[in-house]
Amino acid sequence: MSDPPPSPLLTLRGIGKSFLGVRVLGGVDLDVVPGEVHAVVGENGAGKSTLMKVVSGGYAPDEGTMEFAGVPRTFRGPRDAQRAGIGIVHQEFNLLPERSVAENVYLGHEPVRRGLVDRATMLGRTAELLASIGEGALPPGARVGDLGVARQQVVEIVKALALDARLLIMDEPTAALADHEVEQLYTLVRRLQRRGIGVLYVSHRIREVFDLASRITVLKDGRLVTTVDAGDVGAGQLVRHMVGRDLSSYYPGRAAPGESGAVRLAVRDGGNRTLRGVDLRLRAGEVLGVGGLQGSGRSALARALFGAVPFTTGEVTLDGAPVRLRSPRAAMRAGIAYVTEDRKGEGIVGGRSVLDNALLASRAVAPAWRGRGARTARIRELLAAVDVRAAGEDQEIRFLSGGNQQKVVLARWLALGPRVLLFDEPTRGIDVGAKSAIHDLVRRLARDGAAVLMISSELPELLGMSDRIIVMRDGRIAGELPAGATEENVLALALGTAPEAAR
């Protein structure tokens, strides 16, 4: 006789939420059992973040019921949810960089002895918590600002465990992690499972959802589409549930053989403090993919071509003429655009409007007073053309979804009519629907004659979008692969386990 299924740790029934008369959640059911990783997926605007805020006490639902550990709950705020045993690890960490690991873990509930903070007890308890999840090598007295992203994430998780969390919400936990750090996170999540902690896992990355989750809930337009066992559905079916179309439509058709034009941008023996011996040719009308591991020199290549960290040796030519790319302004005036991988840190100014952000590049290459009216009119056309969804052009960009922020960045560069576009992780942290729109735009730009260099850590994207692929390793181009290459081909070059491909 088989054991009965465990009782749910969390049960949501008919959860609804509206803001200013706009319904953002309607009739959502969901449950999580102890030790389960339950993924929640959907496009931006599907209601995922709102639902997580309901569970973690940030919002009170307008309708429906919630039970936690078998007890009906109505949380009065996040602290109330924390006391009940619900923790949340946000995509953007909430840590004090000047304080130690232990001070961050016990911030606001420090152990006290004789009226003073008991530092010895705090350090000891933090060390025990770290050891319990296999992170005993992380010193509890280390300054958080000196830690890498992956270890800061560990601190966020231990903060929740210090409050006896039985349910942990993880919101896009791999968005800022390198490939090897993602595997470390997987290991950590599985350790949490073995301790009986339930995990609500929100992610745009389809592969990691299948790697970790036992069940998947799909939301669309604030409503529950389905909850399925991960083993009973494929990636294609999941995408159809999310966006209403097949996975095959993710990637537009590549350029036909011979469709690319003349060499637009060329580098011969380029080098700087990170790059060595770079030989590169990028043709008009093609998408040249760049693969490689984190730290291999991919982003350094884009930054060198944009003049942010210039080549100090070698030669660069643009449409056959030598060009000196000693600064971003020089690159922009030469017709080179750069979409950075760090959208929030380098790509947008969060407190400024959509229109101001879209005008940044145009203002950088021409005096603010020259052609202001025509320039603004052009930007407005481009914002509409790339389908930016915002309350208005005066809305602060930080309130837009990641996909819409990226579209504003694209409109900014398109206003310059660039000959070369450098995309570094153009779809990182955005949903599958926005990804598809950006893929279509990238391919359309190439068909219109632009030369596109695109860096991506997602191998399906790299293979699906590229007409050719170069793979970086240790600051060099390890080899080149044609369209139709496999993930194994890319990884073999990235890891140095294959002979250098002919260029």
Q: What is the pLDDT of residue 259?
A: 62
Amino acid residing at 135: E
CATH number attached to the domain at 10-247: 3.40.50.300
- pLDDT digit string, tens, across residues 316-332: 999 999 999 999 999 99
Q: What is the pLDDT of residue 503?
A: 40
Q: What residue segments make up the domains of the chain, in order of their start?
A: 10-247, 250-495
Give residues with Cβ within 8 angstroms of 301, minimum separation 6: 275, 278, 280, 290, 455, 472
C-alpha dihedral sign at 351, 355, 356, 360: positive
If we measure between CA atoms, which residue out of 423, 448, 458 comes closest to residue 438?
423
Q: What is the pLDDT of residue 265?
A: 96
Long-range pairs of 205-210 with CB within 8 A, sequence gap ≥ 24:
205/174, 205/458, 206/41, 206/235, 206/238, 206/239, 206/432, 207/235, 207/460, 208/174, 208/182, 209/39, 209/41, 209/238, 210/235
With residue 439 as reference, give the H or E element that holds it: helix 432-447
Cα atoms in the Cβ-side hemisphere of radius 13 Å centred on 356: 11
Q: How far apart are alpha carbons 69 and 14 in whole angstroms?
A: 18
Bridge partners of residue 169, in order along the sequence: 88, 200
Q: How far apart are alpha carbons 229 and 237 in whole angstroms?
A: 12
Instruction: Give yes or no on whether 10-247 and 250-495 have one common fold.
Output: yes
- pLDDT digit string, tens, across residues 350-370: 889 999 999 998 888 766 555
Burial, 276: exposed, middle or buried (Cβ in 10 Å; 0-12, 13-18, 19+)?
middle
Each residue's pLDDT, cut to its tens digit, for the chain (503 residues) gives 556 667 899 999 999 999 877 788 999 999 999 999 999 988 766 888 899 999 999 999 999 999 999 999 999 999 999 999 999 988 777 889 999 999 999 988 889 988 888 899 999 999 999 998 888 889 999 999 998 888 888 998 998 889 889 999 998 888 767 767 888 889 889 999 999 999 999 987 788 899 999 999 999 888 999 999 999 998 878 877 876 655 455 677 776 665 678 999 999 999 999 999 999 999 999 999 999 887 889 999 999 999 999 999 999 999 999 999 999 999 999 999 999 988 888 888 888 999 999 999 888 876 655 557 788 898 999 898 888 888 888 899 988 888 888 889 999 999 889 999 999 998 877 777 778 888 888 999 999 999 999 999 888 889 889 999 999 999 999 999 998 888 888 888 887 876 544 34
Q: How far apart are alpha carbons 503 and 492 in whole angstroms?
A: 16
Q: How far is CA 364 from the centre of its chain?
A: 27
If we measure between CA atoms, which residue out of 9, 26, 28, 171 comes closest to residue 94?
171
Residue 474 · residue 297 · CB < 8 Å: yes
Q: Give counts: helices (H), strands (E), the chain.
A: 17, 22
Tokens standing for 393?
Answer: 């052009």
| DSSP code of residue 247 | G
Bridge partners of residue 71, in order along the sequence: 68
Q: What is the pTM of this model?
A: 0.63
Q: How far apart are alpha carbons 472 and 458 in whole angstroms?
A: 15
CATH fold, domain 250-495, is Rossmann fold (3.40.50)
Give residues with Cβ within 8 angstroms of 382, minimum separation 6: 358, 411, 414, 415
Q: How far apart are alpha carbons 230 and 213 in whole angstroms?
A: 7
With residue 336 as reference, give the H or E element that holds it: strand 336-339
Q: How far apart are alpha carbons 138 and 131 in whole angstroms?
A: 9
Give residues with Cβ within 8 angstroms of 240, minimum separation 6: 246, 247
